[in-house]
C-alpha cells in the first residue's frame, strides 16, 4: 500500500556541498541581490520623481522594474538561507508562496514586454496619433491588464496543488516549482496538468503573438522609410529586443526542464539555466535601459550628483561647526564670552558658505559648458525612445 501524507516540508536536492567556498558563494549572491534591488529601486525613483519621465514608455518601464524586484525577492532570500543551511528544507506554505511568486513573475514579465512592444509600435507607426491613442487612462488600464491576469491565474493554481496527497517530499531543484510538486502526488493529477499547460500556453503564446505582430509592422515601416527612420527604430527597439530574448531564453529552458527529464545534463548547468530567468533579467534590464535611454541616464546622473553634493554639504557643515567650536575653546582672552546659539549658527553658515563657494563655482562652470548638450538631448523626438 502506498503511503500518502500531507507533507509539512519539502527537501531541495539541487544544492550540493560547496565546502570552503560556501561563504564566498553567499556573499557573491548577496552582492547580486543588493545590486538588483539598488539598481531597480533607483530607476523606479528616478521615473516617479522626474515629471519629464511621466510618459507611457517610462511608465511601462517602471512596471517592468517593479516586477524585477518582485521576482528576485521571490528567489534570492530563500537562496541565501539555503546556501548557509546544512539541511536544505523549506516549509510547505513557503514553498507554495514561492511557486506563486515565481510563476506570476514570469507571466507579468511576458505581458509587460508585449505592452512595451505595442507602445513602440504606436510611437513608430502612428507618431501623429500617438498622444491621442496612448492616454494616461489607457496606460493605467494596460498596467492593470499586465499584472491582474498572471496574479489571478497563478492564485488559482494553489487550490489545485495544496490539497494533493503526496508520496514524497523531494524536489530536485534549488527552489520550488509547480510541476515538481505535482509529480510528487499519488492521486490523479490530470486536472493539474491540463490547467498548468493551459496557463503556460496563455502566458507565453498570447504575449508572443502581440510582440511578433507589432515587430512585423515596425519592420514594414522601417523598410519603407528613410535611413534615419530605420536608425531611430533600431535605437528604440534594441533594449526591448535584448530584454525579450534574454528572458525568453531562460523561461524556455525552465519550461522544458520542468516538463522533460533532463537528468543527463550536468547538475551545474541545470542549476544555472533554471536560475537564469530569475536572475539575469532583473540584473541586466536596469543596465540596458539605464545606459541606452539618454533621458534616464542623464536624470540618474543628476540625481546621484545631487545626493553626493548634499552629503558633502552636510559633512562640510559639521567640519565648519567643529572648527568654530575649537576656535572658541582655544581663545586666550579670559574675558571672552561664549557665542550665543544664534551667533554660533550664523558663524557656522558663513564658514560653510566660504568652503562651498569654490566647489560650487567649479560645478557651475561645468554645468554651463554642458547645458547646450543636455538641452539638445531633452529636445529629441519621443519616437527615438530617449
pLDDT digits (tens, 9 = 90+) for 196-234: 889 988 888 889 999 999 988 888 887 777 777 777 777
pLDDT at 4: 56
pLDDT at 3: 53
End-to-end CA distance of the chain: 66
pLDDT at 331: 61
CB atoms within 10 A of CB 209: 11
- Residues 73-101: tens digit of each pLDDT: 999 999 999 988 888 899 999 999 999 99
**Residues 5/166, Cβ–Cβ less than 8 Å:** yes
What percentage of the chain exceeds 90 in pLDDT? Answer: 26
* β-pairing verdict for 9-12 and 89-91: antiparallel
Q: DSSP assignment, residue 162?
A: T
Which cell numbers in the block locate residue 359?
566647489
Q: Where are the alpha helices (DSSP H) in 126-189?
A: 130-133, 136-155, 158-161, 178-183
More confident residue, 118 or 267: 118
**Residues 98/176, Cβ–Cβ less than 8 Å:** yes
Q: For 189, list phi and psi in degrees, rounded to 5.
A: -120, 25
Q: For 6, list phi and psi in degrees, rounded to 5.
A: -95, 95
Least confidently predicted of 46-60, 156-170, 219-233, 264-278: 219-233
The pTM assigned to this predicted structure is 0.78
Q: Identify which of 383, 74, 145, 114 has the alpha carbon closest to the alpha carbon of residue 244.
A: 114
Q: Is the dihedral of CA 75, 80, 81, 86 positive or negative?
A: positive
pLDDT at 153: 92
With bands split at pLDDT 50, 70 and 90, how would you rate the model's confidence at 374? very low
pLDDT at 336: 47
Average of pLDDT values for 103-108?
93
User: Is the confidence at residue 361, as pLDDT, over 50?
Assistant: no
pLDDT at 145: 94
Q: For 3, list phi and psi in degrees, rounded to 5.
A: -85, 105
User: Is the confidence at residue 357, as pLDDT, over 60?
Assistant: no
* β-pairing verdict for 9-12 and 170-171: parallel
Which positions ≥6 away from 94 have C-beta within 8 Å? 78
- Residues 252-266: tens digit of each pLDDT: 888 777 777 666 677
With bands split at pLDDT 50, 70 and 90, how would you rate the model's confidence at 302? confident
Place of cell 542623464: 298
**Residues 61/43, Cβ–Cβ less than 8 Å:** yes
Least confidently predicted of 163-172, 272-281, 300-309: 300-309
Q: Identify which of 305, 303, 372 has the alpha carbon closest to the alpha carbon of residue 50.
A: 303
Task: Report which listed range, 298-302, 364-368, 376-380, is most confident.
Answer: 298-302
Amino acid at each position: 500500500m502506498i503511503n500518502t501524507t500531507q507533507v509539512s516540508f519539502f527537501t531541495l536536492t539541487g544544492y550540493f556541498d560547496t565546502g570552503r567556498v560556501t561563504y564566498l558563494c553567499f556573499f557573491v549572491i548577496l552582492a547580486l541581490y543588493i545590486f538588483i534591488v539598488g539598481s531597480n529601486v533607483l530607476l523606479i525613483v528616478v521615473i516617479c520623481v522626474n515629471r519629464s519621465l511621466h510618459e507611457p514608455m517610462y511608465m511601462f518601464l517602471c512596471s517592468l522594474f517593479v516586477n524585477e524586484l518582485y521576482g528576485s525577492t521571490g528567489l534570492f532570500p530563500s537562496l541565501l538561507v539555503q546556501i548557509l543551511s546544512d539541511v536544505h528544507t523549506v516549509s510547505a506554505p513557503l514553498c507554495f508562496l514561492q511557486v506563486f511568486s515565481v510563476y506570476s513573475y514570469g507571466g507579468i514579465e511576458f505581458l509587460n514586454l508585449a505592452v512595451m512592444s505595442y507602445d513602440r509600435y504606436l510611437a513608430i507607426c502612428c507618431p501623429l496619433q500617438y498622444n491621442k491613442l496612448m492616454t494616461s487612462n489607457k496606460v493605467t488600464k494596460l498596467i492593470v491588464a499586465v499584472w491582474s491576469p498572471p496574479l489571478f491565474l497563478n492564485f488559482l493554481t494553489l487550490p489545485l496543488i495544496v490539497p494533493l496527497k503526496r508520496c514524497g517530499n523531494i524536489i530536485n531543484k534549488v527552489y520550488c516549482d509547480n510541476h515538481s510538486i505535482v509529480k510528487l502526488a499519488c492521486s490523479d493529477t490530470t486536472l493539474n496538468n491540463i490547467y498548468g499547460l493551459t496557463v503556460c500556453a496563455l502566458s507565453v503564446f498570447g504575449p508572443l503573438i502581440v510582440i511578433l505582430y507589432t515587430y512585423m509592422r515596425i519592420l514594414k515601416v522601417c523598410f519603407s522609410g528613410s535611413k534615419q527612420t530605420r536608425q531611430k527604430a533600431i535605437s528604440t527597439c534594441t533594449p526591448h529586443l535584448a530584454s525579450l530574448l534574454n528572458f525568453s531564453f531562460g523561461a524556455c529552458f525552465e519550461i522544458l526542464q520542468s516538463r522533460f527529464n533532463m537528468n543527463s545534463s550536468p547538475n551545474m548547468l541545470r542549476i544555472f539555466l533554471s536560475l537564469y530567468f530569475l536572475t539575469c533579467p532583473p540584473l541586466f534590464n536596469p543596465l540596458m535601459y539605464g545606459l541606452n535611454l539618454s533621458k534616464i541616464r542623464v536624470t540618474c546622473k543628476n540625481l546621484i550628483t545631487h545626493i553626493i553634493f548634499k552629503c558633502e554639504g552636510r559633512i562640510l557643515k559639521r567640519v565648519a561647526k567643529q572648527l568654530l567650536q575649537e576656535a572658541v575653546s582655544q581663545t586666550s582672552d579670559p574675558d571672552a564670552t561664549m557665542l550665543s546659539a544664534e551667533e554660533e549658527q550664523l558663524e557656522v553658515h558663513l564658514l560653510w558658505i566660504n568652503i562651498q563657494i569654490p566647489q560650487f563655482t567649479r560645478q557651475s562652470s561645468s554645468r554651463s559648458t554642458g547645458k547646450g548638450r543636455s538641452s539638445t538631448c531633452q529636445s529629441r523626438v519621443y519616437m527615438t525612445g530617449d
